[in-house]
Amino acid sequence: MVTAAHIQDRIYYGYGKCATRLGTQYTIYRANSYINPITPAFERGAIYGSFTSSWSYMKFQNWGSSTWLGLVDGRQLQKFDYLTNGQDTYYLADNHLILPLKWVQCNHSVRIERPFQSNNVGDIGYTGYEPAPIATIIADSLPVSIVMKGRGRLPGENLPTDSRLGTWMMYAPQLDTPIILVGDIIIDTNNLRYEINMAEITDQGWRFELQERGT
């Protein structure tokens, strides 16, 4: 009897055969830590992959979108595995039965800090935050996707030349603890800083709304 598992196996086999002709070779990383996930300790071999916004290979990716269809032999992969060829990096966001493999392309490698909360900062009775090096490091060199969402609030000074700070969306795989929290600070590849306004964990990984804070 033909089962869904057998059909899935044949689909992934077909993806793999196509990838060897249309794609390039990637290294697989299966990390269990937000700290330096793309390191030899997490390497799980090599695989061919080809990424596209449509199976016709005749459509460009839209602005603000970081999700791709992936021709990759899914039998060798687990959800939230990273693939990188030294230039492009993706993580596997979804591998539901029969459906295409959903990938997120990473455009930043971020550091996530949790400011230290102190009762000794400011006036009596006020609880403040102190930045690094006192901050706890939650993630470092973590490949993620950060895309623009829209305009946010004005800076607190409210000067005539002030521009509104942007709001952004960040997508990241769900790895092992620690949990990433609202209020954590994101520092991206360009040394721009963001604060997490909202955090949601889904079956496709983390989804965050960020408020830009400048450098």
Q: What is the pLDDT of residue 62?
A: 87
- Which pLDDT score, from 0 to 100, does residue 172 have? 97
Per-residue confidence at 164, pLDDT binned at 50, 70, 90? low
Alpha helices, DSSP H, located in the chain? 4-22
* DSSP letter (8 states) at residue 107: -
In angstroms, rounded to a whole number, what is the distance separating the alpha carbons of residues 182 and 185? 9
Total H helices, total E strands in the chain: 1, 14
Rounded to two decimals, the pTM is 0.86
Domains in the chain (CATH in brackets) are 4-106 (no CATH), 108-214 (2.40.10.370)
pLDDT at 215: 65
DSSP string for 58-78: --PPPTT--EEEEEE-GGG--
Question: Each residue of 50-66: pLDDT tens digit?
Answer: 999 999 999 888 888 99
| pLDDT greater at residue 160 or residue 47 | 47
* CA–CA gap between residue 170 and residue 108 (Å, rounded): 10
Q: Which of 95-104, 125-134, 147-156, 177-186 has the lowest mean pLDDT?
A: 125-134
Query: 178 falls in which pLDDT band (50, 70, 90)?
Result: confident
Dmax of the chain from CA atoms? 73
How many residues does the structure list for the chain? 215
